[in-house]
Amino acid sequence: MHKSTFWKGAAAAAMVLVAAGCNEAALAPGVTQDFIPPSVSIAKFGTSDTVLIENGLKFSVTAADNLGLKNITVQLEGGVVATIDSTFNSQVTGITIPVDVQFASGSVAGGWVRISAQAVDGALNGATALDSIYLKNAAALIVTLLNPSEGAITSAGKDLLVRVRATQRDGIKRVGYLFSGVIAGGDSSGTKQLALPDDTTFVDTLTIPANAPVGVFTITGFAVDSAERRGLSNPVTANIQSVVTDTDPPIVSFQIGARVEVDDTITVNATDPSGITLIGWTAVTLAGDTVKNESRTLAGNLTDVTEKWVVGFSFTTLPQPVIISAYAQDLAGNFGTSATSPAPPAGAGTAT
């Protein structure tokens, strides 16, 4: 997956403020401000997103600017953590930087590696490219934050379900999570003396303090393996909101294949600061007939909920096109639904 963003430099913002304050331009006659951001891209070697650890992590970063680059920063997160900085003291308008990360024998690096390449020009205009590579390593310590979902919403006095999975073939000693931001802390399971299974999931309920301020905090899973090596999951951002008067419906989404078997699974996620009291999904034919409508009732203390169902369609003839959507209700009585579409992959599936 590729993604690129860009922004204008601080000099541009400063010039606007000066013009508003004194109605004068500080630039010399004939000189114009550079508002054009650089371009930056990431190129992986080969066509696969998966590489073997013995072959190393290899890719290149290409950046260009109409006047000149100031620096390029490459950051690796997830299965490998590293930062590579390149600063240019002379005029460089275009460059390709090869990156080749090799690993020592016995390394526990592995899993998804997120790559971020940021280029900045002399006027502080910037651009960022994102990509990812899966580093395959049988000995890897892989930590995954299963819950909450990215962008989860909660509020003071409510609960967030936290699930952290850790895998390493020689066993796990500790697994847990840390959070920081407007609230901070953490929790974990395991000891230095007793090893946990080589595939361990830690489940905990994070209660948001009653006096927690509105704002953002980040949750990161961690694990320590039998050799005392530590691994981290991808961080997830959660938002604490005020619910003095909640009139907004829950945010609902679901995951299912565009073409599914009758015994496949649908995963539904709902998040709301008031707490989720009902979550479910429905499937209708193109003629509008309901063929499935399943739900679960909850207490409303959890603000980010993920539930799974086996679709279990009972069609006598296959394939059959159906339109699938998900829904949820919060403690304030607001009802929300996911987006639907009669065409894959936005919401419809074909039962086979």
Give the domains, in start order, of the chain with CATH numbers: 3-136 (2.60.40.10), 142-240 (2.60.40.10), 251-351 (2.60.40.4070)
Average pLDDT over residues 256-261: 81
Measured CA angle at 30 (ends 28, 32), to 5 deg? 80
201-219 burial by CB neighbour count: b if 16+ within 10 A, else e? ebebebebeeebeeeebeb
pLDDT score at 30: 57
- Provide the pLDDT confidence category of residue 316 given band limits of 50, 70 and 90: confident
The pLDDT assigned to 192 comes to: 63
pLDDT of residue 243: 87
Cβ atoms of 325 and 282 closer than 8 Å: yes
* The pLDDT value given to residue 193: 62
Residue 222 has pLDDT above 80, yes or no: yes
Eight-class DSSP state of 54:
G
The residue ranking higher by pLDDT, 120 or 230, is 120
Distances (CA, A) of 275 to 75, 151, 338: 36, 15, 17
**Token pair 């959660």: residue:** 238
Give the least confident one: 97-106, 186-195, 206-215, 329-338. 186-195
pLDDT at position 98 is: 95
Which residue has better confidence, 243 or 279?
A: 279
Q: In this model, does residue 280 exceed pLDDT 90?
A: yes
pTM of the model: 0.70
Q: Which of 32-41, 114-123, 209-218 has the lowest mean pLDDT?
A: 32-41
Residue 132 has pLDDT above 70, yes or no: yes
211: which 2 tokens? 């006096």
Least confident of 9-13, 209-213, 323-327: 9-13
